[in-house]
Amino acid sequence: MMERAGRFNNVKFQLWQPESHPIELSNNEIAHQKLSYIHNNPVEAGFVVKAEEWLYSSATDYYGGKGLLEIIQLDTLM
């Protein structure tokens, strides 16, 4: 799949969408904003009502539960 996506951009493999731009997480406010964005993607897409309901989301851990995947929680973002 990544090889097919790369053909459109004259590269061998393409992991990110070409319009994606990296953002430095230079402070806790920016990191928290990006984490919230990631957690809320399944909610915005209409897959779940609450972020912590998404099966593989770390949002469960941030809302006091225990998710399926082991994470390193960023306490400084709380």
SS3 42: helix
**Which pLDDT score, from 0 to 100, does residue 78 have?**
45
* Residue 28, pLDDT score: 84
Domain locations along the chain: 26-78
pLDDT value, residue 52: 94
The rounded average pLDDT for each run of 10 residues, N- to C-terminus, in the chain (78 residues) is: 63 64 82 91 95 92 90 68
- Please give the pLDDT value at position 2: 59
Count the alpha carbons within 13 Å of 39 in the hemisphere toward its beta carbon: 17
**CB atoms closer than 10 angstroms to residue 27:** 10
pLDDT of residue 73: 81
Q: How far apart are CA 33 and CA 39, in angstroms?
A: 10
Residue 27 has a pLDDT of 85
Distance CA 2, CA 6 (A): 6
